[in-house]
């Protein structure tokens, strides 16, 4: 019974309020403090980026609008290697689902994010393994392929 209740809590159809989680996985260095995370509708939260980045590039299951509140980050795109720099600004950063990137915090940084509805899958590219993986809700592995 408890396992079913826990499963329901993490289900994509269930809204969660005042929720804290590792955003992008435990190795990402990003903590999300969400007012709401309802994957079918929207998410609103504050993201805390520790200095640095994890290795993997990724796209997203959602589109997002993000305002940098403090800090200094670089967005590195894959495979082009193009860089974009972001600091505190009234101008939001728009992240489309198809943006394949990683965010490198040059110092501890905070952002306010508004996310749209989630698709069921997204991709990560792990350079050290030269592998692309497809993930779904709960960061569960769906598929792996060599690049």
Contact 30, 24 (CB under 8 A): yes
Asked whether residue 54 is domain-assigned, the answer is yes
d(CA 109, CA 23): 14
Asked whether residue 135 is domain-assigned, the answer is no
d(CA 113, CA 47): 7
Structural domain boundaries enclosing 48: 16-119
Asked whether residue 1 is domain-assigned, the answer is no
The number of distinct structural domains making up the chain is 1
d(CA 31, CA 40): 21
Asked whether residue 89 is domain-assigned, the answer is yes
Summarised one tens digit per residue, pLDDT across range 18-57 is 999 999 988 899 999 999 999 999 999 999 999 999 899 9
pLDDT level of residue 101 (50, 70, 90 thresholds): very high
Closest CA to 146 of 126, 132, 125: 132
pTM greater than the 0.85 cutoff:
yes
């Amino acid at each position: 019974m408890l396992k079913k209740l826990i499963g329901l809590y993490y289900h994509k159809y269930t809204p969660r309020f005042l929720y804290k989680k590792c955003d992008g996985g435990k190795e990402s260095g990003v903590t999300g403090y969400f007012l709401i995370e309802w994957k079918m509708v929207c998410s609103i939260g504050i993201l805390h980026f520790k200095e640095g980045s994890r290795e993997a590039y990724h796209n997203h299951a959602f589109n997002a609008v993000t305002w940098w509140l403090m800090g200094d980050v670089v967005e590195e795109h894959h495979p082009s290697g193009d860089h974009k720099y972001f600091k505190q600004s009234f101008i939001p950063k728009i992240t489309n689902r198809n943006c394949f990137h990683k965010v490198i915090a040059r110092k501890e940084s905070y952002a306010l994010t508004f996310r749209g509805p989630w698709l069921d899958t997204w991709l990560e590219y792990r350079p050290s393994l030269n592998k692309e993986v497809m993930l779904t809700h709960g960061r569960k592995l769906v598929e792996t392929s060599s690049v």
